[in-house]
Amino acid sequence: MTYAIRGLPVDEFRPLFGLSDAELAERHIVRMTADAEVGFPCRVMLADAKPGDTLLLLNHEYQPVESPYQGRHAIFVNEAATAPARFVDEVPPVLAVRKAISLRGFDEDGMIIDADVVPGAEVEPLILKLFENPAIAYIHAHNAGRGCFAARIDRA
């Protein structure tokens, strides 16, 4: 089974980069500076920011379909992001190092067909298991602790 994990398109966020903190606050966005190697995961780069990097913490609609599972949540976007990362048949370290990841398999109508929670190191076997079901069109990964959207996983 081939799968791809892709970061969010940067163009959606680029107009926010460099805005003043006051301008960001008007949009309910907070600029933060990473102060640890892990803990500031950019959803475009699919990588944890390095200490000293600035990120925007903002609300993002990760599930725009009209279903009971339509959803929004907070995400980080590194202001240094230039293009979305793409991993094929490989789990990015930003997922693999997490204590627990929730994977949710959706059908074409945006309904959850199956879901489970695993340690980050066990994400790939669960991706492969979920995609064994032909009704699952795509998978969303979320950090199990805070519930933040982590990435979308598609068949490649």
The domain total for the chain is: 1
Q: CA–CA separation, 38 vs 97, rounded Å? A: 8
pLDDT tens sequence across 85-125: 999 999 999 999 999 999 999 999 999 999 999 999 999 99
pLDDT of 1 higher than 70? no
Work out whether the CA dihedral 96, 138, 116, 43 comes out positive or negative: positive
User: Global pTM?
Assistant: 0.93
Q: CA–CA separation, 72 vs 6, rounded Å? A: 18
Using DSSP's 3-state secondary structure scheme, residue 93 falls into helix
Nearest to 85 by CA among 49, 24, 42: 42
What's the whole-number mean pLDDT along residues 75-86? Answer: 97
Domain of 54 in residue numbering reads as: 3-155
Answer whether 40's CB lies under 8 Å from 34's CB. Answer: yes
Q: What is the mean pLDDT of the chain?
A: 95
Return the amino acid letter for 100.
A
